[in-house]
Amino acid sequence: MTLWLLAACVKPVALPAPPPSAPSEVRPVRISHVAREHVMRAYMQQESGQLEEAAASWKRAILFDPESAELYLRLGSVREQLGEIDAARSWYEEAAARGSEEAVQRMQALDRDLG
């Protein structure tokens, strides 16, 4: 797993964030330093198929960085992978409320798939 450190420990960092539809792609995610440990754990758990554990790690990361739309988006994607569509939509709504266009697109995709 590749890590990109954008700044010193007290500044945001970027970590790879594979979208659920294309797990081999790498995309940076900006998070606070204190949430980084939980995010790294969530990625490892998600990659190894431990989705419930990954969801718990994403939730802990959100506690430390509650304004990060990306963290809500990632938690929504795990819930979607688990087939928990209502929960996924709820987390996507939180991400969209924080400015995530991707969350809006994922909610629209859920609507198309269910409609």
Tokens 């990060």: give the residue: 68
The three-state (H, E, C) secondary structure of 62-77, written as one string: HHHCCCCHHHHHHHHH
Question: Is pLDDT of 21 > 90?
Answer: no
pLDDT of residue 28: 59
Bigger pLDDT: 28 vs 12 = 28
Q: What are phi and psi of 67, to 5 degrees?
A: -100, 0
pLDDT of residue 33: 82
13-114 folds as 1.25.40
Token pair for 114: 């269910």
Per-residue DSSP letter, 7: S
What is the reported pTM?
0.74
The 10s digit of each residue's pLDDT in 37-93 is 999 999 999 999 999 999 999 999 999 999 999 999 999 999 999 999 999 999 999
**What is the spatial distance between Cα 64 and Cα 103, in angstroms, rounded to a whole number?**
20
Would you list the domain boundaries of the chain?
A: 13-114
